[in-house]
Amino acid sequence: MSTKGLDTKGEVDKGVRQMFDKVQKGLSIEGLTPKQEKFCLEYMACGSINEAHRRAGYQCKNEKHRSQVARRVFDLPKVQARIQELQSEMYDEKIADIKEIQEFLTQTVRQIRDEEVVASECNGKVSKPVIIKKKAALRDAVKAAELLAKMQGAFVERYDLGAGVPVVIKDDLEDSEDDKG
């Protein structure tokens, strides 16, 4: 089995790679056959049902037949469940959690993290753009400190609901006939 297509732009995470290794060893995962598991992994890598079907090692007479068979494999409840599981694993890896955000902000506050900026380098009459690394600007560090403090509950927002607005009750309703008697 080849791993062609499974590592496109680093989008397949370590968990998916481990699952692929199990498939190569012939182990069944969650009731799926090794080909079905490989189909799921290939689908996650390329996003095409037909291509995933071909890469998983399924043999077909022609592309029309492949399209029909690939759709049947894709529509299997176990395959759908596995694809959803893989998608949630990949999604979880791509989204920064609170701890990661706090670490990033802390590095910015402490000016540990460098940023890349474009600068001009002048050689006589010719200037050319160059990318240089520099510490975070002071305004960025202050903003990071503010965001970090808000995340940790250091600021308490207060609302004055009695903002000095006078309440006036005006009795401008005329008495009706029923009220007079």
Among 140, 131, 138, smallest CA distance to 104 is for: 140
Give the pLDDT of residue 1. 37
Token pair 């609170």: residue? 98
Measure CA of the first residue to CA of the last residue in the chain; give whole Å.
Answer: 99
Tens digit of pLDDT for each residue in 12-45? 455 556 555 655 554 445 688 999 999 999 998 8
**Cβ contacts of 165-168, under 8 Å, gap ≥ 24:** none
Q: What is the pLDDT of residues 61-80, one digit of tens each?
A: 888 889 999 999 999 999 99
Long-range CB pairs of 121-129 (<8 Å, 24+ gap) are none
Crossing angle (nearest 10°) for helices 98-109 and 138-151: 140
Of 161 and 137, more confident? 137
Average pLDDT over residues 109-125: 86
Radius of gyration of the chain (CA): 31
Per DSSP, the three-state class of 128 is strand
Euclidean distance between CA atoms 93 and 89, whole angstroms: 6
